[in-house]
Each structure stands twice: as C-alpha cells, then as structure tokens.
C-alpha cells in the first residue's frame, strides 16, 4: 500500500491510497472468512463449508465489504504515521478498481484546526482594586444578624408592620364572581420584601391576628401567570399569626453562634478576608472576558467546515432545549424543530439564521482552541497533585472527605469533566498572570457589585 497527502488551506487534507494485488488478496481473504461463519451452502451446516467453496460461491460479490475493510484497517494503521492526523473517518471515493490487481481510493479528511496565537503577553487590562470598607463589613454583619434572627409572636392587639413575618389564610376570586378554589394558605411570608407583588403588602399593614380584611388587588400586566396578568381580584385575608423579627445583638455571642469565631472582631477580620478574596476573584473572572476577546481578535484560526457545522448544530440544539424545556425538562431531539422550521417561525431567511448560529459557534471554537494552544505554548498541564488539591478544596466545601467526594463524581461520571474544568482554570490563571495589569481605581464592595452586575454576553472561551 502507498499513500500520498496534500495539505489544503481549510484545515483539510487530500489523501490518496494505492493498493496492489497482495493488499486486495488479504482483504478478500479476511472477508471470505467472516462470511463463512454464517454462509449456508447445500450439504453443509451453516458456517462449516470449506473456505475454497465459500470463495467460489461468493466470488467478487464481497468486493464492497472487502474494500471497506481494507480502507478501515488502512486508516487505522496510518493514524500514527500521517503528519496531519485524521480527526474523523473520511468518506472515500474509489477512483480505480481492477479486480484482483489494484485499487486506488481518495478522500478529503479533516485535521486539527490551525491556531496562531497573538501576542498575549502584550495584552493590557485595567481593573479596579478591591477595597473592603467598614461599611461593607457592617452590611455583611447585618446579613449575619438576619440569618440568626428569631421570630417573636406579636400580641393579639398589635397590627402587622413592614418587616413582620405572617402566617395567613385567604380566599381569592375574580371581581364579581364566586371563588373557584378553596381557601389558600401561606406561612413565613415576610412583609415588605423586594420580590413581593408590588403594592400587595400595603393591604396587609395594620391587620391584627385573627382579623379578616377584604380588599381588591390588580395583578401587574406582565405577571408570569397569563390567567392572572392584569386582572383585578378580590381577597378575603386573615392573618393567623404575626411575628416580629428580632435581630441578635452584634457581640461575641453572635460571632460564636454564626461560625464559631472567638470574638466579634475575629468574625469581622474573617469577613474582610473573605470579601477581599472573593471579589478579587470575581473581578478577575470578569476581566478574563476582555482578555480572551483581545487574544482571539489578535489570533488567527482555520477550522474544518465540519467543526463549524457540528458546533452550530450544538448551539442551536442547546438554545431550543432552553426555550422548549425552560431549562428543566430534557426535550427529545426528534421533538426539536428543524432549523428550517425555526427560520419560518421567526420570519427570517434560512441563511441568515444559519449564519447567526455559525458566528456563535465560531466564537466558541476560537475561545476553546486558543485556550488549548496557550496550554501547549506555556506547557500548562494538570498534574495529579493539582487535581487532588482541587478535589480536596471542593470536598471540604461540601463537608465531605476527598475519597467520598471522588466516589460521588465517579457515580455521576463527572471525574473527567472536573479534570477539564480544573485544567481550564489553571490555563486562565496563567494567562491572567502573563498579561499586563493596571489597577486604575479602588472600589468598595458595594461599588464592585454594580461593576460586576454589568455582565457582557457571548463569552468566547466557554
């Protein structure tokens, strides 16, 4: 067997295979023996006919099977010899076949994407410096107090106030109609919470325990339940119990109860350290978006068309899973509309829709392969020590031993996924250290929360 290759400009390779008489004889011999196992010839039990009789009986009818076997074995044999490796089995075309003499087959196969990284060490970023203020610590301590808060039952003559926690029973009906359901109930409902229905709690302030109040409430027009959105409903509300929230004092006892800290000052110091660490990491994560975008923009990529096609389909399938399954139920692939049908649904030309998913796919591929190329350029690997250290950190976070945590990951077949994630993190950490950084301003935690909430879309490295 002889082979010739020619590298193309689109990360593909032309492959030509030439086989002689000896190659063909071996392939046919293997095919005949395989067919012999099930072949029925009069006078012989299935699989027991002599091989020479099998050959005469089948003749050249096994040519397709023999050629396919020959190509399959040849590609497997060549996998370690080719300069540009085959990333998926190619589709061959038989150019010339002379029975029992020669065979010439050609194919175009996809090889690894080509990536030329830009000057990533010259990337410059500006980022804020984390500054934990006394106000930030006080705000965190207030969260601690709320977590440890106790409920104190109000006296029968006291009305409900903003911040109180109530147990209530109510009957609701559409204006002018009879109730459709039995009475409803709700416990531990906190008055005045930001996520409560706008204006609803105003009707509850002042109601006393055991008292019933009738009132009308109109639901917002954008309320998620279509049967209630914009409708005016009549409520008959009874508060069964009203609790006043009592926050503990800020003292050493609170610190000890919360996490075993030796004193209030020790808890403050720990909060400051944690805030500094967590928000420094959060700022870094956000800035990695800018770093990778600049790296991708300054790098060159050549992808096989099949990569773009497969990733585009992956992007489309995931989007439709989110839309149809609302992020919960997994929708069978056969129930997902074709991209042609989707284009009709959104009223856009098919090519425009295809191009939009292809653009997203291309950005994702660029991010992924730039990360892999960077790992190669900087000799970044995840050692077993690295892996065990990361596992230990996660295990302690969940209150588990390292061995038990690993067992859980093995059960869910997640060990390799975690290994990939740890390597990606190590690559990101290395890149962040390599770029030029300038801290241009100091920000409190409150300011950083606003800074970090301005999320950018289309992270290219995920």
> Distances in Å between the alpha carbon of 64 and those of 25, 69, 92, 99, 315?
14, 9, 12, 11, 37
> Distances in Å between the alpha carbon of 12 and those of 110, 117, 166, 413?
4, 20, 68, 33
Residues 196 and 300 in one domain: no
Residues 364 and 423 in one domain: yes
Is residue 180 within 8 A of residue 173, CB to CB? The reply is yes
CB neighbours of residue 297 within 10 Å: 10
Residues 304 and 378 in one domain: yes
CA distance 105 to 410: 44
**Which of 112, 137, 168 delimits the end of a domain?**
112
Regions in the chain scoring below 50 on pLDDT: 456-462
- Asked whether residue 462 is domain-assigned, the answer is no
Listed residue (291, 309, 308) closest to 299, CA to CA: 291
Is residue 166 within 8 A of residue 242, CB to CB? The reply is yes
Question: Which domain CATH number covers 51?
Answer: 3.30.70.1050
- Asked whether residue 142 is domain-assigned, the answer is no
Residues 338 and 403 in one domain: yes
Indicate the number of domains in the chain: 3
CA distance 452 to 81: 50
Residues 285 and 413 in one domain: yes
Residues 432 and 290 in one domain: yes
Res 65: pLDDT: 94
Is residue 314 within 8 A of residue 361, CB to CB? The reply is yes
Residues 300 and 436 in one domain: yes
Domain holding 65, by residue range, is 2-112
- Asked whether residue 358 is domain-assigned, the answer is yes
CA 240 to chain CA mean position, Å: 45
**Which of 112, 141, 172 delimits the end of a domain?**
112
Question: Which domain CATH number covers 417?
Answer: 1.10.3120.10
- Asked whether residue 217 is domain-assigned, the answer is yes
Question: Which domain CATH number covers 225?
Answer: 3.10.50.40
CA 358 to chain CA mean position, Å: 18
- Asked whether residue 137 is domain-assigned, the answer is no
* C-alpha radius of gyration, the chain, whole number: 34
pTM of the prediction?
0.70
> Distances in Å between the alpha carbon of 455 and those of 190, 441, 452?
30, 20, 7
b/e map of 183-218 (b: 16 or more CB within 10 Å)?
Answer: eeeeeebebeeeeeeeeebeebeebebeeeeeeebe
CA distance 149 to 168: 21
Residues 48 and 188 in one domain: no
Residues 234 and 158 in one domain: yes
- 182-185 — which CB contacts under 8 Å span 24+ positions? 185/240
Residues 273 and 219 in one domain: no
- In DSSP notation, 84-141 reads S--SSPPPPEEEEEETTTEEEEEEEEE-PPEEE---GGG-EEEEEEE---HHHHHHHH
Res 326: pLDDT: 67
- How buried is residue 32: exposed, middle or buried, by Cβ count under 10 Å (0-12/13-18/19+)? buried
Residues 98 and 191 in one domain: no
Res 328: pLDDT: 62
Q: Indicate the helix (H) or strand (E) that contains 186.
A: strand 184-190
- Asked whether residue 141 is domain-assigned, the answer is no
Listed residue (187, 288, 281, 283) closest to 239, CA to CA: 187
The residue with tokens 């590609």 is 75
- Asked whether residue 205 is domain-assigned, the answer is yes
CA atoms within 13 A on the CB side of 140: 22
- Asked whether residue 440 is domain-assigned, the answer is yes
**Which of 246, 273, 288 delimits the end of a domain?**
246
Res 461: pLDDT: 33
> Distances in Å between the alpha carbon of 34 and those of 47, 54, 55, 75, 349?
10, 10, 11, 20, 51
CA distance 83 to 14: 12
Residues 284 and 237 in one domain: no
CB neighbours of residue 273 within 10 Å: 11
CA distance 190 to 146: 12
């Amino acid at each position: 067997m002889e082979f010739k290759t020619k590298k193309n400009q689109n990360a593909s390779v032309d492959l030509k295979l030439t086989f002689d008489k000896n190659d063909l004889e071996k392939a046919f011999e293997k095919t005949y023996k395989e067919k012999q196992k099930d072949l029925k010839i009069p006078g012989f039990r299935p699989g027991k006919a002599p091989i020479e009789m099998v050959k005469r009986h089948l003749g050249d009818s096994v040519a397709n099977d023999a050629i396919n076997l020959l190509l399959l074995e040849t590609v497997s044999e060549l996998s370690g010899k080719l300069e540009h490796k085959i990333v998926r089995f190619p589709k061959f075309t038989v150019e010339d076949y002379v029975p029992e003499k020669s065979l010439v087959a050609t194919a175009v196969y996809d090889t690894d994407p080509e990536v030329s990284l830009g000057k990533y060490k010259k990337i410059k970023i500006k980022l804020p410096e984390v500054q934990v203020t006394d106000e930030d610590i006080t705000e965190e301590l207030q969260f601690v107090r709320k977590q440890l808060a106790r409920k104190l039952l109000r006296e029968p003559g006291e009305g409900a106030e903003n911040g109180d926690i109530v147990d209530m029973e109510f009957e609701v009906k559409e204006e002018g109609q009879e109730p459709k359901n039995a009475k409803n109930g709700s416990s531990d409902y906190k008055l005045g919470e930001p996520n409560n229905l706008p204006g609803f709690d105003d009707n509850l302030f002042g109601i006393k325990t055991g008292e019933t109040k009738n009132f009308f409430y109109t639901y917002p027009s954008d309320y998620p339940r279509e049967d209630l959105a914009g409708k005016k409903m009549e409520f008959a509300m009874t508060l069964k119990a009203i609790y006043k929230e009592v926050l503990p004092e800020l003292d050493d006892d609170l610190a000890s109860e919360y996490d075993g800290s030796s004193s209030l000052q020790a808890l403050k110091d720990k909060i400051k350290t944690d805030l500094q660490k967590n928000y420094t990491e959060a700022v870094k994560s956000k800035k990695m978006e800018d770093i990778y975008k600049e790296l991708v923009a300054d790098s060159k990529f050549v992808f096989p068309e099949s990569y773009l096609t497969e990733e585009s389909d992956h992007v489309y399938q995931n989007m439709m899973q989110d839309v149809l399954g609302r992020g919960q139920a997994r929708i069978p692939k056969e129930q997902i509309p074709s991209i042609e049908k989707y284009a009709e649904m959104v009223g856009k030309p098919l090519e425009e829709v295809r191009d939009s998913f292809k653009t997203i796919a291309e950005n994702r591929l660029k991010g992924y392969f730039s990360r892999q190329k960077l790992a190669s350029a900087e000799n970044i690997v995840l050692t077993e020590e690295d892996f065990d250290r990361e596992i230990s950190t996660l295990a302690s976070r969940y209150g588990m031993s390292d061995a038990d945590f690993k067992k859980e990951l093995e059960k869910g077949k997640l060990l390799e996924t975690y290994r990939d994630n740890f390597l990606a993190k190590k690559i990101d950490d290395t890149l962040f250290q390599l770029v030029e950084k300038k801290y241009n301003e100091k920000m409190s935690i409150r300011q950083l929360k606003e800074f970090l909430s301005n999320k950018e879309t289309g992270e290219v490295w995920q």
